[in-house]
Amino acid sequence: MKFSFNIGVASLLFLFALTGSSQAQLAFSGYSEHEVDQIRTSAQFYSGYNKFRLDMEQHPDARVSIYATLEAKRYFGKTSWLLSDFLPVASSIDTTFVMQDSLTAEYLYTVLEYGSLMITVGKQPLSIGTGYIWNPTDIFNRKDMLDPTYELSGVSALRLQYSGSRGDLDFIAQPFGDGSSVTAYLAGTTRLGHFELTGLAARRTFQSSGTAEAYDGYGGSAVGELLGLGVWAEFLANRSGNSGTFKSEWTAGLDYTFESSFYFMLERYHNDRGGIYSPEDGYSPVGVFDYLGGFNRALAGDYQFIMLRYPLGDLHSLSLWGIRNISDDSYVVAPQLSLSLFEDVDADISLYLFEGSANSEFGTQQLGGRIRLRLYY
Amino acid sequence: MKYITLLLLGALVLGQELTTEAIVDSMLVVMTPENARGLSRQINKTSSGAVRTLEYEYYADKGGEDVLMRYTKPNKVKGTAFLMTNHADDIWVYFPRTRRTRKLASHANKQKVQGSDFAYEDFAGGRTWKDDYTHRRLPAEKADEYKLEFVPKPEISSSYSRMVLTLGKKDFFPKVIKYYNTKGVHEKTLYMQDIKLIEGYPTAMTMVMHNELNGTETRMETLEMTYSVSFPKDFFSEGNLKK
């Protein structure tokens, strides 16, 4: 079993657990999760993991909170994959990646409160933007399109949030890997009727060909209600350097709940920087690298999403969702059954049906299935 | 409470029956204290007999115009919080594991609260009943009760076409509320039980919502409640959901 293990972090957590005073009770919670996936590409494989998450929090003072989350994950089944098993990459750039067992401090952060000001420092969860799957204004994270509500990895950052009577301010600074620069984000939010409006400026630092580069972004988001429908949108115009052309990335969506509790959601996404596709050659290597390297949050530039959900009794629900890659005309459709088996036990059963040409994003795979069980404590 | 006393005394002296308006005003006085803070237990019983128990902290001000609920049990939903302002016209939900706050549109107030027979809009009544509904008196089954019908005004979006309340003449506190859906079908009945006087306000220590269409039932038990509470300026705000 291989570990990705930070001894310093582990020591800190051990001390954290031991030195909690009687006045600052250490609270534990978390879950164990078990997942098995069936994947059919050129052949059929199964893969999965067992995961244990431990959340700890302590409040040594009314204005101070300390949070830590440890995660242990162990894989089984097929753990070594080729990129071409999941993405339409040319054989010349195809490479192997291995799912490695891990034990990590997923979150480790402190929250300080001074009246309307909240300071969060450390490796923390960041959830930015109004979109369900795609968040152009979230320059720190990228969601898994096929599992957008799953927890994201922590981001080491300093965050200052100010809540005022007229609106809120949010500032985030994330040091870049080699310490040469930072990724910074500044947003202001206000309310207008039933709408919440955010304007932002950001500078994102990323790795490109071994050096740190940055681009500046300006944009915003809105969430509210129009004609009874829930609506949201995000927009970010960004450019590299001072003379580059601004490129846009945006998402827009709407949802509604009927009186029968039937729910639907639609979302649309566009990115000027998305990978260029041609039916003959597939995706350009640059587009694939931009996606794999985390520069782009999706392979292509245009997508549509739809979700329908209906409750089955009081405890369970049935969903049907689909994502269409407009650029290469491929899609995935996924019926999903969500079950509340016991008070603290949930299960999700999903089927993934992929369709598209061989060199398209969703045409690489044929069929997939997933069973996930989560037990909370 | 002084207002009710004056009304009753006035009626006794003059030997007159209270007007419908006076009854509605008296009802709202006892139903909507300015502020409230409590701890409640919610027991959901499904049609298949499965039982789910949740506990939550409850905070309200401006007579229920703003409501904040934070779940404390079970572990699955611990820390999940809902903020409803403007009588549930604006709803935010907070997920503690991702520290994500999501604003929901008002259509979400038709959704059930954590699988219960209560919808978010059921928590948002109170003083809106006077402004957003027309009301008339109906014949009561018992001499010591009033019966009122509330119908939402055309400009109000509601899951219910009407509600029928049965109040006690002594305390003006609702004992039974019947909810009729937009097709005019009797969908749910709320029973207010075990009424106790807390800090001068009648308080239902047990509320049972029975779904007449599918046989499910949700029981809300008040574990703690106080009305002598004041909240900081930004308590009912999105920022406070994370605290």
Give B190-200 pLDDT, tens digit per residue: 999 999 999 99
pLDDT at B125: 60
Give the pLDDT band of residue B131 (cuts 50, 70, 90): confident
Residue A215: what pLDDT?
A: 86
Contact (CB, 8 A) for B99 and B242: yes
State which of A245-249, A281-285, B109-113, B238-242 shows the largest mean pLDDT.
A245-249
Q: What pLDDT sits at residue A245? A: 87
Q: What confidence score (pLDDT) does residue B190 get?
A: 95
Least Cα separation, residue A2 to chain B (angstroms): 27
Looking at A212-216, B65-69, B172-176, B228-232, which range is the least confident one? A212-216
A163–B243 CB contact, under 8 Å: no
3 state DSSP class of B240: helix
Q: In this predicted structure, what is the pLDDT of residue A4?
A: 43
Other C-beta atoms lying within 10 Å of the C-beta of residue A151: 17
Query: What's the pLDDT tens digit per position in B66-112?
Result: 999 999 999 999 999 999 988 888 889 999 988 889 898 878 777 77
Answer whether B186 touches A (CB < 8 Å).
no
**Residue at token pair 């905070």:** B59
Question: What is the mean pLDDT of the segment spanning B129-141?
Answer: 87
Closest-CA residue of A relative to B85 is: A194
Judged on CB neighbours under 10 Å (0-12, 13-18, 19+), A25 is exposed
Query: What tens digit of pLDDT does each residue of B19-30 get?
Result: 888 999 989 888
pLDDT value of residue B225? 96
Section A211-236 average pLDDT: 91
Predicted pLDDT of residue A87 = 84
Cα–chain center distance at A358:
27
- pLDDT band for position B18 (50/70/90)? confident
Residues of B in contact with A31 (CB under 8 A): 75
* pLDDT tops 60 at residue A17: no
* Mean pLDDT of the region A349-360: 94
Per-residue pLDDT at A14 = 56
> Min CA distance, A231 vs chain B (Å)?
8
- Rounded Cα distance, B223 and B229, in Å: 17
A338 close contact with B: CB closer than 8 A: no
Residues of A in contact with B48 (CB under 8 A): 313
CB proximity A240 to B under 8 Å: no
Among A81-90, A192-201, A228-237, B205-214, whose mean pLDDT is lowest?
Answer: A81-90
**For residue B49, pLDDT beyond 90:** no
Q: Which range among A24-28, A310-314, B55-59, B102-106 has the greatest average pLDDT?
A: B55-59
Identity (one letter) of the amino acid at A99? M
Flag if A314 and B107 touch (Cβ within 8 Å): no
Q: Which two tokens stand for residue B119?
A: 């919808």
Pairing of strands B90-95, B81-85: antiparallel
Task: Report the pLDDT averaged over residues B35-63.
Answer: 91
Give the pLDDT score at A7. 47
Q: Sort strands B66-73 and B51-61 into parallel, antiparallel or unpaired.
A: antiparallel
Tell me what ipTM this predicted complex has: 0.85
Mean pLDDT of chain B: 86
* Contact yes or no for B146/B164 (Cβ under 8 A): no
Count of CB pairs separated by less than 8 Å, A with B: 101
